[in-house]
Amino acid sequence: MRHKELTVETRIKKEGQLTQVMHRLRKNKLAMAGLYIILILIIVAILSPFIAPYDYTKMDMSLKYAKPSLKHIFGCDDLGRDIFSRLMYGSRASLSLGIIATLVSTFIGIIIGSVAGYYGGKIDNVIMRLLDVIQAIPGMLLSIAISAALGSGFINTIIALAIGGVPMTVRLLRGSIMTIRNQEYIEAAEKINATKLRIISRHILPNSIAPLIVSVTMGIGNTILMAASLSYIGLGIQPPTPEWGAMLSAGKPVIEKYPHLCIFPGLCIMVVVLAFNMLGDGLRDALDPKLKN
Amino acid sequence: MARYILKRLLLMIPVMLGIAILIFTIMYFCPGDPAALMLGAGATQVEIAQKRIELGLDQPYFIRLLQYLKQVFIDLDLGDSYFYGTSVAAGIMSRMRYTLLIALSSMGLQILIGMPLGIVAATHRNGLADRICMMIALLGVSIPGFWLALMMVVLFSVKLGWLPLYGVGGIQYFILPVIANSFAGIATQARQTRSSMLEVIRSDYVATARAKGLSEREVLFKHALPNALIPIITIVGNGMGMMLGGAVVIENVFSIPGIGSYMMSAINGRDYPIVLSGVLVLGVTFSFIMLLVDIIYAFVDPRIKANYERKAIRRKKSAA
């Protein structure tokens, strides 16, 4: 009976915190703008086959390099395909790459980080030295190398993008676990013989979740940027799949005459990344009000 | 202090070995057979097999790894390009200056523009200047560098004709690449500088400095900034990594013959020795910069320095 009451109490308290965070977030106009942009883009990505004005593969050589007009608001590309429709489809690749790669790297990072932070000692030392090596290679360079080794394609690009992000999550989580692990409630959980997995998943993770949420949000934006760079230099996602970085790359040779081939894909990348950064900034302030004041 | 630097230099050795092993392993899984690619479509199976033996590609992973490590760290030889047959080390040396020039000048811009922006934003907190600086910074971390580069080419080279389109030459060839490459760094630097300045400005010793009647200038530059420097310097070091990685992409945009474009053409041609050495050289360069950053920490933060000196004194005492 007492146990039941306790859980009800903690649930109420948790909801209270969440409402507080949401309340603070709602007051932040930039963050909300970011959130709305992201939601709209996700809807566009999902619904693109139904709402795109043209088929993204439909070629019309009479419209080759057509300038923006009322019919084709962003103009047409080298094969007379509607750029606006291609951008709508392209949001699928960019968003899913960014989100999946970041989630994968966060997931791996959480596992390795919890092990390193919770067990400490030799295991921690070995893990951290290995991460030192990975981090000694600039992230972009590492992604280029992995992408070159694995070849282009969706899954390979996700792997290439995810590996570079792992060390950061590990460090973040390890740091917060190290500060949490000497707290009394962890000691209490250990004393009542809770398993290590339970302690990590039920006590440690929820208490270090705030910085993780922020790092995931910012990470998605950053990963989208890297994915576009990879496709731009000819790795990552390749034509004919519409992808913003690859579209930019295709427009580069004719940029002097037809800059609209490059302007719009770049704007799309910028808006998405900006939205994730604005939301991330807002979440950081909302989750940790101490930092703001 | 010398002991600290020496210790850090020794720690570089396993990191360098680690980078070499990691990159070798990644490249080992590269699809495509360089021997077949080198000989072209007309080669017979026998010829390809012979070429593989000649290049040592028929050996198992561990043997090849050990051979590679011996070659790089003992013979100090980065190998020869599969295709051109020329020394990779020489190829990298002749291209390194472009990559370093772009990366270092980008880092310079990052410090010279990013730090003042962050300080101005922090001192005018929530005011107009703060908002403008932070909007620029937010844009900066969101704009793809290569796209900014392309847009600047359209504006300054194509429309206005002020600057050359691409290639290398005098200083005017590097203006656009450096600006495009450093914009994200400037933005990150401004954001980090602002937040660490804000943290310090709230502290008691800054209030004390103000209370004893120091001018705002003295408060900022003598009391606040030195204490905010550690995270700011960290970002400078990280920025260098970003610039080195970014330079690879930027070189591609402007057709600059640096390590980045050397590596990209090698990736397309499966010329492993070049890719391997390119990443290795850039990785080691970055590690050295980070080492430099750690040493600078010790100089700006008397606590770190004191820690090492105290240890040294203790060691001397116990020896005596």
In a domain, B314, yes or no: no
pLDDT tens readout for residues B276-293: 888 888 888 888 888 888
- CA–CA separation, A140 vs A181, rounded Å? 34
Query: For residue B213, which phi and psi values (nearest 5 degrees)?
Result: 90, 20
B112/B62 same-domain check: no
Q: What is the pLDDT along chain A (293 residues), one digit of tens a residue?
A: 445 555 555 555 556 677 888 888 888 888 889 999 999 999 988 887 887 777 777 776 666 766 777 677 777 777 767 778 888 888 888 899 899 999 999 999 988 988 888 787 888 888 888 888 888 888 888 888 888 888 778 888 899 899 888 888 888 888 888 888 778 888 888 888 888 888 888 888 887 788 888 889 988 998 998 888 888 888 878 777 788 888 888 877 877 778 888 888 888 999 999 999 999 888 888 887 655 44
CATH of the domain at B181: 1.10.3720.10
Counting the structural domains of chain B, the total is: 2
What is the predicted pLDDT for the residue at A1?
Answer: 45
CATH superfamily for A48-268 is: MetI-like (1.10.3720.10)
Torsion angle, CA of B290/B291/B297/B299, rounded to 10 degrees? -140
Amino acid at the residue A252: K
B116/B258 same-domain check: yes
> Could you tell me how far CA B245 lies from the centroid of its own chain?
6
- CA–CA separation, A238 vs B181, rounded Å? 24
What is the predicted pLDDT for the residue at A66?
Answer: 67
To probe the interface with A, which of B26, B106, B107, B198 has the most A CB atoms within 10 Å?
B26
To probe the interface with A, which of B150, B275, B280, B290 has the most A CB atoms within 10 Å?
B150
B143/B245 same-domain check: yes
Burial class (CB in 10 A: 0-12, 13-18, 19+), B31: exposed
B103/B37 same-domain check: no
Closest Cα in chain A, distance from residue B212 (Å): 24
Collapsing DSSP to helix, strand or coil, A288 comes out as coil
Amino acid at the residue A130: L
Residue B315 pLDDT grade (very low, low, confident, very high; cuts 50, 70, 90): low
Q: Provide the token pair at A97.
A: 């790459």
pTM of the predicted protein model: 0.84
Domain range summary for chain A, segments of one domain joined by +: 48-268
Would the CB atoms of A137 and B22 count as touching at under 8 Å? Answer: yes
Amino acid at the residue A265: P
The answer to whether the CB of B187 falls within 8 A of the CB of A270 is no
Would the CB atoms of B142 and A273 count as touching at under 8 Å? Answer: yes
Comparing A284-288, B52-56, B134-138, B150-154, the range with the smallest average pLDDT is B52-56
Chain B interface includes A59 (CB < 8 A): no
Which residue among A140, A262, A266 places its CB closest to the CB of B245?
A: A140
Closest Cα in chain A, distance from residue B320 (Å): 32
Instruction: Name B124's Cβ contacts closer than 8 Å, sequence gap at least 6.
Output: B130
B66/B139 same-domain check: no
Which residue among A132, A235, A269 places its CB closest to the CB of B144?
A: A269
- CA–CA separation, A3 vs A8, rounded Å? 9
In a domain, B274, yes or no: no
**Where does residue A237 fall: left (phi above 0), alpha (psi -120 to 50 degrees), or beta otherwise?**
beta
B68/B103 same-domain check: no
What is the predicted pLDDT for the residue at A293?
Answer: 41
Residue B231 pLDDT grade (very low, low, confident, very high; cuts 50, 70, 90): confident
Closest Cα in chain B, distance from residue A146 (Å): 6
Residue B309 pLDDT grade (very low, low, confident, very high; cuts 50, 70, 90): low
Closest Cα in chain A, distance from residue B271 (Å): 11
The answer to whether the CB of A69 falls within 8 A of the CB of A75 is yes
Would the CB atoms of A132 and B15 count as touching at under 8 Å? Answer: yes
In a domain, B284, yes or no: no
What is the predicted pLDDT for the residue at A63?
Answer: 65
Residue B316 pLDDT grade (very low, low, confident, very high; cuts 50, 70, 90): low
The answer to whether the CB of B133 falls within 8 A of the CB of B190 is yes
Closest Cα in chain A, distance from residue B45 (Å): 24
Which residue among A256, A266, A281 places its CB closest to the CB of B151?
A: A266
In a domain, B288, yes or no: no
To probe the interface with B, which of A132, A143, A233, A235 has the most B CB atoms within 10 Å?
A233
Beta bridge partners of A76: A82
B9/B69 same-domain check: yes
pLDDT tens readout for residues A184-238: 888 888 888 888 888 888 888 887 788 888 889 988 998 998 888 888 888 878 7
The answer to whether the CB of A87 falls within 8 A of the CB of A54 is no
B198/B100 same-domain check: yes
What is the predicted pLDDT for the residue at A13?
Answer: 55
Amino acid at the residue B108: G
- CA–CA separation, B108 vs B185, rounded Å? 10
What is the predicted pLDDT for the residue at B72?
Answer: 77
Chain B interface includes A16 (CB < 8 A): no
Would the CB atoms of A233 and B290 count as touching at under 8 Å? Answer: no
- CA–CA separation, A272 vs A249, rounded Å? 19
- For tokens 């005459």, the residue is A257
Q: Report the alpha-carbon angle A7-A9-A13, nearest 5.
A: 115
To probe the interface with B, which of A229, A243, A261, A267 has the most B CB atoms within 10 Å?
A229
B157 vs A227, more confident: A227
Query: What DSSP state is assigned to residue B110?
Result: I
B149/B20 same-domain check: no
Would the CB atoms of A133 and B22 count as touching at under 8 Å? Answer: yes
- CA–CA separation, A75 vs A78, rounded Å? 10
In a domain, B307, yes or no: no
B67/B12 same-domain check: yes
Question: With 80 as the cut, is the pLDDT of residue B85 above it?
Answer: no
Question: With 70 as the cut, is the pLDDT of residue B310 above it?
Answer: no
- CA–CA separation, A80 vs B40, rounded Å? 35
User: What is the chain A residue with the closest CA to B248?
Assistant: A141
pLDDT tens readout for residues B89-136: 788 888 888 888 888 888 889 989 998 999 888 888 888 888 888 888
Domain span holding position B200: 95-268
B101/B232 same-domain check: yes
Q: Report the alpha-carbon angle A257-A260-A263, nearest 5.
A: 120
B172/B219 same-domain check: yes
In a domain, B247, yes or no: yes
What is the predicted pLDDT for the residue at A115?
Answer: 85
Give me the mean pLDDT over the B250-269 stretch. 83
In a domain, B252, yes or no: yes
Helix axes A154-180, A209-232, angle to 10 degrees: 150
Instruction: Name B192's Cβ contacts closer than 8 Å, sequence gap at least 6.
Output: B118, B231, B232, B234, B235
Residues written for chain B: 320
Which residue among B141, B275, B283 places its CB closest to the CB of A137?
A: B283
Closest Cα in chain B, distance from residue A163 (Å): 12
Residues of A in contact with B246 (CB under 8 A): 140
* Alpha-carbon separation of residue A264 from A39, A90, A269 (angstroms): 20, 12, 9
Amino acid at the residue A277: N
> Could you tell me how far CA B283 lies from the centroid of its own chain?
8
Query: What DSSP state is assigned to residue A63?
Result: G
Q: Which value does ipTM take for this structure?
A: 0.81
pLDDT tens readout for residues B196-222: 888 888 888 888 888 888 888 888 888
Question: B244, B268, B292: which is the final residue of a domain?
Answer: B268
- CA–CA separation, A5 vs B90, rounded Å? 74
The H or E element containing residue A102 is: helix A83-119
B37 vs B289, more confident: B289
Q: Report the alpha-carbon angle A129-A168-A207, nearest 5.
A: 110
The answer to whether the CB of B23 falls within 8 A of the CB of B276 is yes
Would the CB atoms of A278 and B245 count as touching at under 8 Å? Answer: no
Chain B interface includes A235 (CB < 8 A): yes
* Alpha-carbon separation of residue B279 from A88, A138, A157, B8 (angstroms): 35, 9, 18, 22
In the stretch 266-285 of chain A, residues with CB closer than 8 A to chain B read: 266, 269-270, 273-274, 277-278, 281
Residues of A in contact with B30 (CB under 8 A): 148-149
- CA–CA separation, A144 vs A260, rounded Å? 27
* Alpha-carbon separation of residue A55 from A96, A262, B290 (angstroms): 20, 20, 49
Q: What is the CB neighbour count within 10 angstroms for residue B42?
A: 6
Arithmetic mean of pLDDT over chain B: 81
- Residue among A210, A228, A237, A216 nearest A267 (CA): A228
